[in-house]
Amino acid sequence: MPSHRHDFIEFSLVLEGKGKEWINGTQHDMVPGTIVLLLPYQIHEYKADTDDSLLMFICNFDMKLLTTGPEAAWGLNELLFGRDNAQPAYIHLQGKEYEESLQLWERLYREHEASLAWKPIMLRSLLLEALSLYARNGGQNQKPRSELQRSAPAKSIWSVVQYVYDHYLEPLSLTSLAEKFHIHPAQLSTQFGETLGIYFVDFLHELRIRHACSLLITSELPISQVAFESGFSSYPTFSRAFHRMKGMTPRQYREQKTVRA
């Protein structure tokens, strides 16, 4: 799988084979029993070793599952998003712990493939159980509480990411976010780069351009109006950002997609 990133959480379990994965440039081994919790917008890639192949369960879900509702209050949000940069995004399970997780993942897969009553509730329940087991088994990687408290500023980045994801159509700036989350702008900028591998403004533009693409395809709004409806206060900024990310103008994008449809 070539280097890429996405706006959802990717949760995976290796069943067979061996390989390697890179998350924001940091490498780790992938073997049967490896569980990875990849947070949104992190650049990653993985590949099997030579003459081998990887068989995996992969579950993708929206970050809001962990940042809203009772699960966040129960501490699952803190356990998963509260990790500092020194803590790995993966665990290797063996023996009883691996068998327990494997059975749970198999139930999750069977439920996903079936068409039974209350399917969404069952999927949510099984996923939360799998995440809880991941957090429990990853507890051995947790640092002493005093060290975690000293690194608290690094943990706040995921709250900022979620806020931007929820409010990207509104006027946002690095300065306003820094004030809201009580972080120095320079520190927040550094955290975006280190954690997501992308500058804040590029992250914001990526969300807005994705929204603009949807409007270009599904509506007949003038392109200048699409720009403002997508959160841009300046049409030239919108046009430059669109061309940089899509390799074409907004008009060309609309015409291309309309012809294909």
Q: What is the mean pLDDT of residues 5-9?
A: 83
Beta carbons of 93 and 101 less than 8 angstroms apart: yes
Beta carbons of 205 and 164 less than 8 angstroms apart: no
Note the pLDDT tens digit of each residue in 52-79: 999 999 999 887 777 666 665 555 556 5
Beta carbons of 98 and 130 less than 8 angstroms apart: no
For 130-168, what is the HEC assignment? HHHHHHHHHHHHCCCHHHHHHCHHHHCHHHHHHHHHHHC
- Interatomic CA distance for residues 82 and 72, integer angstroms: 12
The yes-or-no verdict on residue 206 having pLDDT over 80 is yes
- Interatomic CA distance for residues 223 and 102, integer angstroms: 50
C-alpha to C-alpha distances, 175 to 163, 198, 200, nearest whole angstrom: 14, 17, 11
Which fold would CATH assign to domain 156-261? Arc Repressor Mutant, subunit A (1.10.10)
Note the pLDDT tens digit of each residue in 20-50: 999 877 899 999 999 999 888 788 899 999 9
**Residue range(s) in the chain whose domain bears CATH number 2.60.120.280:** 9-145
Q: Between 3.10.20.30, 3.40.50.10540, 2.40.50.180, 2.60.120.280, what CATH number should domain 9-145 receive?
A: 2.60.120.280
**Residue range(s) in the chain whose domain bears CATH number 1.10.10.60:** 156-261
- Give Cβ neighbours of residue 181 (< 8 Å, ≥ 6 apart): 156, 159, 160, 163, 188
Predicted TM-score (pTM) of this structure: 0.70
